Amino acid sequence: MRLASGVRVLFAVPSMLAAQQPPQPPQPPQPPKDSAVLAPVVVTATRLPQPAADVPAAVTVLRGADLRAKGIGTVLEALRDVPGAAVVQTGSFGGQTSLFLRGGQSNYVKVLVDGVPVNQPGGSFDFANLTTDNIDRIEVVRGPASVLYGSDAVTGVVQIFTRPGTGAPRGRA
């Protein structure tokens, strides 16, 4: 009798296990009811156009039309009005001119003309011969936000945007 009941149990246990439902996948944990679930935050460092009021950096924008209306003829004269900027010129018109932003060296200022870097190999740039007659605007970014433009923009960036041409492009061969 013991043997017969042991055999029944031996066959009954596997058939009971086979009849059970497969295990459910684990459910993700539910947040507590008193907390909020936030959307993921994406942080990017881009150089996209933004309104000046939304930029979290020290930025000065000099409009070309305003500069010409004030009688400012060179970029050197225009940059003298930028807060935190010191413009040093050796000699008279045409002499070597350097820009120091926030007390840093002049070779730590990156200069871009229409988005193209124009600094000399040592990092410096001579502002002496740039006139305002073809300038649309000058943007000066001071401080740590300038590192978005590269390792040579430690103390700031000066972006010079020229005026767009009029009419269709043409040329001769």
48-77: pLDDT as tens digits: 666 666 666 678 888 888 999 999 988 888
DSSP-H helix ranges across 85-165: none
Domain count, the chain: 1
Domain assignment present for 5: no
- Sheet hosting strand 58-63, strand order edge to edge: 58-63, 135-142, 156-162, 109-113, 116-117
Number of neighbours of residue 62 by Cβ within 10 angstroms: 21
Where in the sequence is the domain holding 128, given as residue range(s)? 52-162
Task: Tell me how far apart the 2 most distant CA atoms of the chain are, in Å.
Answer: 121
Phi, psi of 8 (to 5 degrees): -60, -45
Half-sphere exposure of 145 (CA within 13 A, CB side): 12
pLDDT of residue 101 exceeding 60: yes
Give domain status of residue 171, yes or no.
Answer: no
Is 4 among the domain residues?
A: no
**Is 31 domain-assigned?**
no
Question: CA 114, CA 103: separation in Å to the nearest integer?
Answer: 26
Which residue would you say has higher pLDDT here, 147 or 106?
106
Q: What is the pLDDT of residues 140-163, one digit of tens each?
A: 888 877 667 888 888 888 989 998
Q: Ranked by mean pLDDT, which of 100-109, 118-127, 142-151 comes out on top?
A: 100-109
Q: Is residue 14 part of a domain?
A: no
Within a domain: residue 94? Answer: yes
d(CA 109, CA 104): 8
Residue 157 covered by a domain: yes
Percent of the chain with pLDDT over 70: 68
CATH code at position 142: 2.170.130.10
Could you tell me if residue 38 is inside a domain? no
The model scores a pTM over 0.75: no
